[in-house]
Amino acid sequence: MSKTNEHLPAIFATIKTALENCCPPMVVSKSSKDNFEIIGNKAVPYGSKKEIVLGMYFASVVARKDKITFYFFCNYTHPQEFKTLAPTLMKCLKGKSCFHFKKAEEVNVTELTALLETGMKIFKQEGYLL
């Protein structure tokens, strides 16, 4: 990593820790040095064919060469719930559910925790968590 990207591992670790704090009830589905993903803990039908998946995708963090990406599914399905909840994080939103972080100060841990807690409540309401 170049000197300008030395802070990226710390950003990844911060988001990964926040995701780990959601487990349980969430379940880790992928874990490597540059990718961490969690899903719901209940098998559910998914897609147009309604195939049963082990758990609905919830969130993940991926280390890229020049940034850290955080994917948060609930922001795609319930965007109105999160706009005012995490204004600092929303500045880094690219698209509907993908956040790009290049600077440590862009990751507000309080907002991230609130985002994930609200997402878990939504998952419980939608029937994706036991």
Predicted local distance difference test score (pLDDT) of residue 86: 86
Residue 110: in which H helix or E strand, if any?
Answer: helix 109-126
Predicted local distance difference test score (pLDDT) of residue 1: 42
Predicted local distance difference test score (pLDDT) of residue 2: 43
- Give the C-alpha separation, 64 to 50, whole Å: 32
- Give the C-alpha separation, 109 to 85, whole Å: 12
Residue at 128 is within a domain: no
pLDDT along the chain (130 residues), means of 10: 74 97 95 96 89 92 96 89 86 93 93 95 92
- Give the C-alpha separation, 128 to 124, whole Å: 6
Range of the domain at 31: 3-123
Position of tokens 């998946």? 53
Residue 106 in tokens:
């862009």
Predicted local distance difference test score (pLDDT) of residue 3: 52
Count of domains observed in the chain = 1
Residue 32 in tokens:
């490597």
Residue at 67 is within a domain: yes
Nearest residue to 13 (alpha-carbon basis) of 57, 68, 92? 68
Predicted local distance difference test score (pLDDT) of residue 101: 95
For position 85, which CATH number holds? Answer: 3.90.1150
Predicted local distance difference test score (pLDDT) of residue 116: 96
